[in-house]
């Protein structure tokens, strides 16, 4: 019989927990016990060190052919608020980021109906021309699939072209929730969970690292969350190419999915989800709290619930804030260092590939 005691024994022995055990934890209300287990699992990997990075997000366009029901960011080209940044503006933002000490540019955007593949290559080259030292983490698996369609290249060829133009790694977006039933309701136009995983496998085979996310707090059940993490754990066993798992707390404002005023996640759910992820995903080195969606305070408390990574200075964020995120647009390096220190942890600035740059 599964119990908290039997799971604790496994975690103490460094053993992998089962899907049923993860589900048991999700269904438990003993948040502090789950947090303690997650902290144990994390401390074995990372001690008291917490990673963060200095980065800038650039969302080159919000014009998108898809209409995911959880998304408040996307527009059709003729809708108010639709935008497309030109290459000069993208170069200016990268230059500004470089001067502010950024080591990473994080780029994701809508699936624009008219941009040619060459635009994406030029965007990467433009940023690399600002500084070859800037790491470009860009394009979700969903965008890679779209770029392979517009370029009429295979996924492997698309990745090779992008890599040649300066792509350094991939962010973890577009995973949403892998359950076919929920995905059909949420984002029927988007590639399937199976395709997302297949593309990530090719990404890893191409020698590129990537991240992995899970959007939670909408229509999915706890079992759907465990199913999602199981598929990530299995792929990670095969490739080892995921650097970090990032649960994304659904922000309901201005989305077609805003069912009622209670939509969205609770602090308890946020902490439990991060903690269960730390315990279950034993082959992921890092669990990241994305403070933009969680708010700074929950992100800080999560450092006692198994989290060892915080993203980042960000600078300008649209996807969460268009959907009502209450967090600020940016945190400075000093803000993040103070947040980590006040949690009694050691701040470590990293680069995108988790090389350590500076311990504070
Ligand atoms: O794929 C869209 C999500 C993702 C909403 O890899 C929403 O380091 C909450 O993936 N509420 C893009 N989430 C962002 C993303 C990300 C962010 C930070 C770091 C990394 C990384 C990746 O945002 C989308 C989608 O899952 N999203 N709308 C919303 N209303
Ligand atoms: Fe488009 Fe991405 Fe928003 Fe879906 S989540 S509508 S693919 S921008």
Residue 348: strand pairing partners:
51, 359
Euclidean distance between CA atoms 303 and 289, whole angstroms: 8
Average pLDDT over residues 268-283: 98
Percent of the chain residues past pLDDT 90, beyond the cut:
95
Cβ-contact 124, 178 below 8 angstroms = no
Give residue 182 CA to ligand 2 midpoint distance, Å: 16
Which residues form ligand 2's pocket by a CB distance below 6 Å? 64, 66-68, 71, 73-74, 110-111, 142, 187, 190
pLDDT at 281 over 90: yes
pLDDT tens across 157-208, in order? 999 999 999 999 999 999 999 999 999 999 999 999 999 999 999 999 999 9
pTM for the whole thing?
A: 0.98
The 10s digit of each residue's pLDDT in 319-356 is 999 999 999 888 999 999 999 999 999 999 999 999 99
Give the model's pLDDT for residue 263: 72
Give the model's pLDDT for residue 316: 86
What φ, ψ does residue 119 adopt, rounded to 5°? Answer: -55, -45
CATH architecture of 19-359: Alpha-Beta Barrel (3.20)
- Give the helix/strand (H/E) hosting 356: strand 356-359
Instruction: For the beta carbon of residue 84, count every other beta carbon within 10 angstroms.
Output: 16
Please state, in angstroms and rounded to a whole number, the distance separating the CA atoms of residues 288 and 262.
Answer: 25
Cβ(209)–Cβ(353) under 8 Å?
yes
b/e map of 313-326 (b: 16 or more CB within 10 Å)?
A: bbbebbbbbbbebe
Give me the chain's average pLDDT, please: 96
Can you give the pLDDT at residue 139? 98
Binding site for S-adenosyl-L-methionine: residue ranges? 70, 176
Give the residue numbers of the binding site for [4Fe-4S] cluster: 64, 68, 71
d(CA 360, CA 351): 15
């Amino acid at each position: 019989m599964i119990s908290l005691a039997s799971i604790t024994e496994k975690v103490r022995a460094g053993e992998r927990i089962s899907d049923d055990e993860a589900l048991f934890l999700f269904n438990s209300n003993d948040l502090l016990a789950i947090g303690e287990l997650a902290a144990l699992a994390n401390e074995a990997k990372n001690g008291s060190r917490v990673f963060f990075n200095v980065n800038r997000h650039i969302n080159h366009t919000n014009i998108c052919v898809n209409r995911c029901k959880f998304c408040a960011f996307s527009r059709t080209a003729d809708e108010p608020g639709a935008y497309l940044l030109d290459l000069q503006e993208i170069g200016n933002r990268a230059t500004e980021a470089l001067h502010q000490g950024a080591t990473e540019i994080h780029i994701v955007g809508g699936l624009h109906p008219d941009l040619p593949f060459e635009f994406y290559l030029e965007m990467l080259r433009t940023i690399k021309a600002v500084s070859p030292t800037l790491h470009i983490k860009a394009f979700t698996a969903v965008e890679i699939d779209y770029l392979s369609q517009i370029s009429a290249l295979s996924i492997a060829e698309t990745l090779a072209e992008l890599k040649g133009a300066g792509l350094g790694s991939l962010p973890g977006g577009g995973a949403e929730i892998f359950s076919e039933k929920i995905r059909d309701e949420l984002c029927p136009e988007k590639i399937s969970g199976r395709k997302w995983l297949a593309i990530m496998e090719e990404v890893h085979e191409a020698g590129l690292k990537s991240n992995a996310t899970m959007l939670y707090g909408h229509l999915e059940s706890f079992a759907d969350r465990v199913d999602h993490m199981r598929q990530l754990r299995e792929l990670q066993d095969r490739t080892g190419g995921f650097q970090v798992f990032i649960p994304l707390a659904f922000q309901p404002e201005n989305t077609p999915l805003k069912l009622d005023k209670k939509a969205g996640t609770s602090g308890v759910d946020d902490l439990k989800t991060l903690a269960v992820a730390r315990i279950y995903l034993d082959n992921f080195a890092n669990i990241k709290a994305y403070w933009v969606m969680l708010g700074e305070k929950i992100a800080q408390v999560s450092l006692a619930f198994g989290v060892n990574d915080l993203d980042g200075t960000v600078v300008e964020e649209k996807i969460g804030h268009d959907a009502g995120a209450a967090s600020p647009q940016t945190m400075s390096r000093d803000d993040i260092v103070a947040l980590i220190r006040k949690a009694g942890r050691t701040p470590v600035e990293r680069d995108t590939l988790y090389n350590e740059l500076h311990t504070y």
